[in-house]
Amino acid sequence: MASTLAADPDPTIEVVDPPGRWVALAVLAIGTILAMSPWFSSSAVAPSLAAEWDASAFELSLLVVAVQLGFAAGALALAVTGASDVIRGDRLFAAGAVVAGVANLAFAVLADGPLAGIPARAVTGAALAAVYPVGMKLIAGWFRRDRGLAIGVLIAAVTVGSAMPHLFRAVGALADVDWRTVVAFASVATFLGGGLVLTGGRPGPFDTPAPRFSVQIAAAAFRQPSVRLANLGYLGHMWELFAMWTWIPLFLAASLAASGSDDAALASLAAFAVMAAGAVGCVGAGLYADRFGRTTATIVAMAVSGSCALLVGLLFGASPWLVVALATVWGVTVVADSAQFSAAVSELAPPGTAGSALQVQVASGFVLTAVTILAVGAIAPTDAGGWQVAFSALALGPAVGIVAMWRLRRRPDAVRMASGHR
């Protein structure tokens, strides 16, 4: 994931963050948690979809890929048209939430198979491009001194919101409701989130126009080796992140069943806990990176998450407590470094080029996630060996990312990151 950051003020001028910023952060964080609920709603109910539609894991993975590609297209469309300049952030956020909620509801009501569900899922992804990136821009308008923490909190909210459908499914399993009702819960949450931000959120005094996307400007940024290395690190991170988020719920359900704990509600609660735990990593890594360096934070996070990817498949069918514990460590670290890659590009790109460079970063990253989501779906759900191979393949991304960030750390211009902490 990535965010577009507002331009920093003259460093010689002391900046005082405005009153009301923490209330604004709370409103945006809660609104984001609720509004992001539809993202993985199809993954949360995947076992029910497989049973009702006789769908393969590969077919079900297309529903998630549609969201990813829709998001990439929506983000680029907003950047090219400059909609973020024309429409006030709180209103754009609310509009995106409403469209995402309606599209998700259409999936629940109308879809009768994987192919029929793809258009609704693609529209959901495109609409969510007006939610969390716009939320990041809104919160950047309220913070300067504590912006790293604030952005970390917003990405933590995205993480928890992405996990919410699994909580809804756990409740639905206990209440014995069908998958369509569970997906509808996510739409209701999205409408509530959009309404909360529309009524309680507003742009801050530091709000700045969103930069228009330009291929030429982005190319100028990527001519810088440091920007290319930061983006390579981001791509390594994205190789792992969304494939893990997509497939860890099915892995946990299958592993718990193999160990004798065949409880749908328990499996969904475990999936929610594993994914939502990433919120802790987002905030912690944000605080750490500002003080000790972005390359340090990202290298540590990718080393731990890559190790978990190698190990967790080996525990298939083992004690549920052991499996969930290791998966939770993976959940914390797999997303912890998300904000640091976009922060690094914003610091390393030549003046006036960061916005377009970040749009390329987002689009390329989400397109790449489609590859790994489909690949894991084609390999993993066959048996224990399939999970081991598929999750081990995800560790390739962090390995590449670690090398990229280590090389970036050794470059002289890396001192421009995190106030000289690299």
Mean per-residue pLDDT of the chain: 86
Burial of 321 (0-12, 13-18, 19+ CB in 10 A): exposed
If pLDDT is split at 50, 70 and 90, which confidence band does 116 have? very high
pLDDT digits (tens, 9 = 90+) for 335-381: 988 878 877 777 787 777 767 777 788 888 899 999 999 998 888 77
DSSP-based three-state secondary structure for 407: helix
Q: What pLDDT sits at residue 9? A: 47
Check: CB of residue 154 under 8 Å from CB of residue 1.
Answer: no
Q: What is the mean pLDDT of residues 191-214?
A: 84
- Of the pLDDT bands very low, low, confident and very high (cuts 50, 70, 90), residue 6 is very low
- Average pLDDT of the residues in 179-203: 94
**Residue 31 tokens, joined:** 């609104």
Segment (H or E) for 311: helix 294-312
Distance CA 250, CA 328 (A): 15
- The band of 223, judged by pLDDT with boundaries at 50, 70 and 90, is confident
Sign of CA dihedral 147, 148, 154, 155: positive
DSSP letters of 181-206?
HHHHHHHHHHHHHHHHHHHH----TT
Burial-class residue 412 by CB neighbours within 10 Å (0-12, 13-18, 19+).
Answer: exposed
- Banded pLDDT at 269 (limits 50, 70, 90): very high
Q: Report yes or no on whether pTM surpasses 0.75.
A: yes
pLDDT of 294: 83
For residues 107 and 181, the answer to whether their CB atoms sit within 8 Å is: no
Amino acid symbol at 140: A
Average pLDDT, stretch 82-111? 91
